[in-house]
Amino acid sequence: MKTRIEADSIGSLEVPSDAYYGVQSLRAKRNFPITGTPIHPVMIQNLAKIKKAAAISNREAQRLPEEKAAAIIYACDEIIAGKLKDQFIVDGIQGGAGTSANMNANEVIANRAIEILGGTKGDYTIVHPNDHVNMAQSTNDVIPSAGKLTVLDLLPDLLHALESLHAALLDKSQEFDHILKMGRTQLEDAVPMRLGQSFHAYATMIERDIRRIERARKELFTLNLGGTAIGTTINASDYYLHHIVPTLAAVTGYPLMQADDLFDATENLDGFVTISNTLKTCAVNLSKMCNDLRLLSSGPRTGFGEINLPPMQNGSSIMPGKINPVIPEVVTQVAFHVIGNDTTITMAAEAGQMELNAFEPVVFYSLFSSITSMTGAVNTLVKNCILGITANEKRCEDLVSKSVGITTALCPYIGYQKAASIAKKSLKTGESVTSLVLKDELLTQKQLDDILDPYALTGPELPAEDNLAG
């Protein structure tokens, strides 16, 4: 393999001649063999968008010659289009607050620009990674800005998946609206409700998660770009300072704003904690719902068995015919993953010192992972579970009829004391509450039918006769 010699402040290394990355990228690859996962491809594209906006701004500030700027912009456009991804060799988790990721981008763009200008890779007299590609920038404003843009790019797929889940749950709430079932508190029989009401509650919960994520997302439009190292704007021209963010907004299409306090925006990562917290909250809600679905479908003969989840695969290598709730199970596992990521992000944001947080790489690695894994989990939940759920209406009816929970609905008509006596007798004898009420001539069949009508029983309105106790 042919190589070229490149040097940095640490020393010299042999770099493959055909590589677009350089010595700093290669050194980082050797220093950080952490996850085996490189920088997120969307993060790579956003690094290129920032470098493109910087080249445009520096060209217009007359700091970067037209020819070099044009070559850098062309190289950035290629990366934005998805080319040269294999040249980004740095691990997603790295020391140095993301300097390695920033330099990986600088070196790849510089060497591609050199090539465009007819030079040989590694001849940084033509285009230099630091002097030209990284002009007026620092890792400390590039990396957090690229991280915010990446979150903004990844969130729409998650929000779309959640919107689909919300719609699917609403459809099921309507489909099951007529089915009376037992509501449960502390896993014990409580009072009757409609199966559709359960699914409507899930839909309402998911809608709240969507709104919460959308509100938190807005914090990410504010960037510290232009602040350079710590917020003093050192090495940035006045023109660049006032044009870099509007230029990047034009490149990305986002309504980006430059932070009023560049020091604050450089050293504090609370915006990422906020968005992570909304993802954690959503994950908690998703897992709670999936726990309910597993319980409601449990059995199918010896559990609740009120609903059926679509059978997706064999549930056992030893027990024939066993089908497990694998889709809710995987969603709950993703929830654990997201909750763990949120703890990592929280601790990383807290651990920053003075004018910079050195732990941004693990924040982004965790946050990107949360978004992408949640997106996949919600998509499979909708497609492979929610849409195919069916109800066991007869099973729901049987459980209601056998439960003493309906005595609560009878209290306004026969009184609490009589209702309690009926409940106790039903539990002791196994005879249904309704048959005992009729046997003791406490109510007529017509009165019972009115009281136990699914909609009258489970809504805010009582039947017309609001006191049948006599």
DSSP for 272-334?
HHHHHHHHHHHHHHHHHHHHHHHHHT--SSSS--SEEPPP-SB--SSSTT-B--HHHHHHHHH
Same domain, 209 and 323: yes
Residue 236 lies in a domain: no
Residue 244 lies in a domain: no
- Domains in the chain, number: 3
Look up residue 125 and give its amino acid. T
Task: Residue 106: give its domain's CATH number.
Answer: 1.10.275.10
Same domain, 193 and 308: yes
pLDDT tens for the chain, residues 1 to 470: 899 999 999 999 999 999 999 999 999 999 999 999 999 999 999 999 999 999 999 999 999 999 999 999 999 999 999 999 999 999 999 999 999 999 999 999 999 999 999 999 999 999 999 999 999 999 999 999 999 999 999 999 999 999 999 999 999 999 999 999 999 999 988 888 999 999 999 999 999 999 999 999 999 999 999 999 999 999 999 999 999 999 999 999 999 999 999 999 999 999 999 999 999 999 999 999 999 999 999 988 889 999 999 998 887 778 877 889 999 999 999 999 999 999 999 999 999 999 999 999 999 999 999 999 999 999 999 999 999 999 999 999 989 888 887 888 888 899 999 888 988 888 889 888 888 888 888 889 988 888 877 677 787 654 444 444 43
Q: Which two tokens stand for residue 122?
A: 């590694």
Catalytic residues: 316
Owner of token pair 């963010």? 245
How far is residue 283 from each of residues 209, 279, 296, 338, 459, measured CA to CA in Å?
9, 6, 20, 7, 30
Residue range of the domain that includes 276: 142-222+258-393
Query: Looking at 337, 371, 393, which one is the last position of a domain?
Result: 393
| pTM across the whole model | 0.92
Same domain, 71 and 195: no
Look up residue 362 and give its amino acid. V
Residue 214 lies in a domain: yes
Residue 14 lies in a domain: yes
Interacting residues of 301 by C-beta distance below 8 A, sequence separation 6+: none
Total residues found in the chain within this entry: 470
Look up residue 320 and give its amino acid. P
